[in-house]
Structure 1
């Protein structure tokens, strides 16, 4: 298998991770798609430097989060499209689908969090061990646990407030 085929399979197998990062750090479908492409590009550029000292998902999270946060900081303040996204979701979502409504609300409130906290929540929801979360963010495992426990309370409050 060529390097390009190996990389394509890696991206295909882990595209959910890239989509989640893209969705949490953007406010429109177009920006989400642009960020997805930028993350894939950065993964390709750093693919040769991956030494296998960590899990592939840990490496991908690190690259994806660094890319998203860097672009988020560089981006000039643009008009908020949250209202448009809410309109889109409400018009195409089945009214009886409570689970989808909860997922949409969760994305909405997670987007209100600062960058690092968004990353912690996303990795936690992906069932990454605290050790991997800590490694990705350059913090201790204990610090990752403490932050997540605080974030659970914050998210509960925000979801109740915005429900």
Structure 2
């Protein structure tokens, strides 16, 4: 892997890769495995990037497809796994209260359906509905409906957990 590839594809899109991998993993070790596999898949498929969409959009797609492929190949169901472990891999947050809120949010996200996780991670990344629709492969109006439902699910999940 060349330094140029690393800087252009990995380093410039590190936040995207971290967020998606974190939404699909439950431990730092598992996160590291997913991250490494994403980097490998980006390297292997770099020639397939045709510049018709933004590089970040392509990286989202490769990262998301890689994470979903890993889950599928492991033949395990992680949609509603109870998460007891939190980790703050590569966090820019120094405030422990803010870090705890972020961990709580990711715990809620990990309990969503696989497709819903992808949508909410893109939304939290401030992607437009058009960009989300393009990446996920659904209509823009469907994106809006799904985001509202996901936000309500997360709100209910997080409120419920705080009461326990």
Matched ranges for 1:77-156 at <5 A: 77=76, 82-83=83-84, 85-86=85-86, 97-156=96-155
Q: Distance in 1 between matches of 2:98 and 2:28?
A: 21
Counting matched residue pairs gives 153
Q: Distance in 2 between matches of 1:159 and 1:82?
A: 13
Q: CA shift at 1:24, angstroms?
A: 1.1
Contact 1:134–1:141 under 8 Å retained in 2: yes
The structure 1 residue matched to 2:3, chosen from 5, 8, 15, is: 5
Contact 2:82–2:111 under 8 Å retained in 1: no
C-alpha distance after superposition, 1:81-101 (max 9, x if no partner): 832x14x77xxxxxx832221
Contact 1:28–1:81 under 8 Å retained in 2: no
Q: CA shift at 1:76, angstroms?
A: 4.1
Q: Distance in 1 between matches of 2:96 and 2:140?
A: 36
- Which has the greater radius of gyration? 1
Q: Tell me, which stretches of 5 or more residues in structure 2 are unaligned?
A: 89-94
Q: CA shift at 1:5, angstroms?
A: 3.2
C-alpha distance after superposition, 1:87-135 (max 9, x if no partner): x77xxxxxx8322211110000100001100000100000011111111
Q: Distance in 1 between matches of 2:75 and 2:50?
A: 35
TM-score, with structure 1 as normaliser = 0.86
Q: Distance in 2 between matches of 1:155 and 1:81?
A: 14
Q: CA shift at 1:16, angstroms?
A: 1.5
Contact 2:23–2:109 under 8 Å retained in 1: yes
Q: Distance in 2 between matches of 1:124 and 1:76?
A: 28
TM-score, with structure 2 as normaliser = 0.85
Q: For 1:14, what is the secondary structure of its paired residue?
A: helix
Q: Tell me, which stretches of 5 or more residues in structure 1 are unaligned?
A: 90-95
Query: Runs of at least 4 residues of structure 1 off by over 3 A?
Result: none
